[in-house]
A and B are shown apart, each in its own frame.
Chain A
């Protein structure tokens, strides 16, 4: 199979910024031409946008190039702020990272969980891009799917699929755990007839299988050294 040549300019949205990957080996004029194409397609979205120019390395020459391209983009497309990527974390002192994580983990956090109150009835289907929290029960015949974890503050009796399509680190927690079927990533498990009664339980993937454990005893996050955003 032929390997396609990487385009010299790529854009993706990261947080509140546009992350522009640029191949710095090309001449400045050609880079400008390459930048025009995707930015014209962005139209008004480019105005006042925060731009991060990622050249793949970091030195004085790159700084000058970023400055040149930054002025060019500001004039041509009225972008807001142009900068280079923050220095990667692994170059910092480990202790400082921990401090930062503890201090900042949830400060710059945007809610990507879906919180639903009420009873999910048979035939109803709920899909969440990331985590799903249901303050209520999930009846038999109901289905919920989430990209991340599923937390049910009530009785889980329906079908729950967490970590779809491929996040095997996701978990499913319910105060009463009596599912018809659960899925985590690509793993599927049929509901069990026996239940711990009204004790909260959770399911996770361990060693290529889904296991269910008492949540109060086997809480998987107890081992974490410091709190982190999931």
Chain B
């Protein structure tokens, strides 16, 4: 059976697409799937650094498209996780180096060789976005609980629907304390505006920065809340679509919890 191609996109930059692509890719590979993550941000590649593979790059996606190498030569195997591969972007070209028809061709090849292909879409809605979306079967839209991010995600969702893709939503960087105080949009507010299916909620986690700097996958860190959330998203993507979504909450004391339970019933 052919594998599936999933694009991770957001519209706005800096909301966590690359981190989420790397982490979900790692989680899916740990679940036993053969996974390739593809950096579509040609000219501004990042995914290799986040995965700690920057020193192994020989060929990149543009080389594959231009027929200068085979997919096997460009796909770098992860240092820690078997079954996880990276196809890096070129740093010296720009987005126009690839055309949508090239991506359709590449995606068909990747479907044959891998169970799951994750495309890390660049920010924006220009050529890079079009290249990423044209070949995708499914889409994950990443959004932070900020008005600007919600607006860009909304635009992206409209564009994805226009491509007949029904995207799923990841709300990233939730700070439960701020939500409780009313200083941050809650994920309900975000879903209210975007009205698409939610696939995961990720709490703000300092370990993400450490992981990105060291190349140590988030999902391998036992005590990372974000890592756990990514693992659950990976499970929902692969075989467990009904796994309940956990709402990040402040850890309350035993008596407070008990009190809220009783008061709810009244």
A residues apposed to B, CB below 8 Å: 119, 121-124, 137, 139-141, 157
Contact = CB atoms under 8 A, between A and B. Distances in A.
- Chain B interface helix/strand/loop/mixed: helix
A216 to B, nearest CB: 23
B170 to A, nearest CB: 18
Interface stretch (B80-88, B103-111, B149-157): B149-157
B98 to A, nearest CB: 24
B190 to A, nearest CB: 12
What 10 A-B pairs have minimum CB-CB distances, sorted nearest first? A122-B154, A121-B158, A123-B155, A122-B155, A141-B151, A121-B154, A122-B151, A139-B154, A140-B151, A124-B158
Contacts of B151: 122, 139-141
B147 A122 contact: no
Nearest to B161: A121
B1 interface: no
A157 B193 CA distance: 9
Contacts of B193: 137, 139-140, 157
Contacts of B158: 121-124
B150 A140 contact: yes
Interface in B143-195: 147, 150-152, 154-155, 157-159, 193, 195
Contact of B147 (A119, A124, A140): A140
Contact of B152 (A122, A124, A137, A157): A122
A139 B159 CA distance: 14
A157 B154 CA distance: 13
11 contacts: A119-B195, A121-B157, A122-B151, A122-B152, A122-B154, A123-B154, A139-B154, A139-B193, A140-B154, A140-B193, A141-B151
| Size bracket of the B interface | 10 to 19
Nearest to B150: A140
Contacts of B195: 119, 137
A141 B151 CA distance: 7
Contacts of A122: 151-152, 154-155, 158
A190 to B, nearest CB: 16
A221 B161 CA distance: 39
A124 B157 CA distance: 11
A36 B193 CA distance: 59
B157 to A, nearest CB: 6
Contacts of A140: 147, 150-151, 154, 193
Given A140-B151, A141-B154, 9 more contacts: A119-B195, A121-B157, A122-B152, A137-B193, A137-B195, A139-B151, A140-B150, A141-B151, A157-B193
Contacts of B150: 140
Q: Which of B152, B157, B158, B195 has the most CB of A within 10 A?
A: B158
Contacts of A119: 195
A124 B154 CA distance: 10
Interface string B123-152: 000000000000000000000000100111
Contacts of B154: 121-123, 139-141
A121 B155 contact: yes
Contacts of B155: 121-123, 141
A139 B150 CA distance: 10
Nearest to B193: A139
A137 B195 CA distance: 10
Nearest to A123: B155
A137 B192 CA distance: 10
A121 B147 CA distance: 14
A82 to B, nearest CB: 50
Nearest to A119: B195
A140 B150 CA distance: 9
A157 B151 CA distance: 11
A121 B193 CA distance: 9
A124 B125 CA distance: 14
B30 to A, nearest CB: 35
A106 B193 CA distance: 37
A174 to B, nearest CB: 15
Nearest to A121: B158
Nearest to A120: B158
A140 B153 CA distance: 11
Contacts of A121: 154-155, 157-158
Contacts of A123: 154-155, 158-159
Interface string B233-253: 000000000000000000000
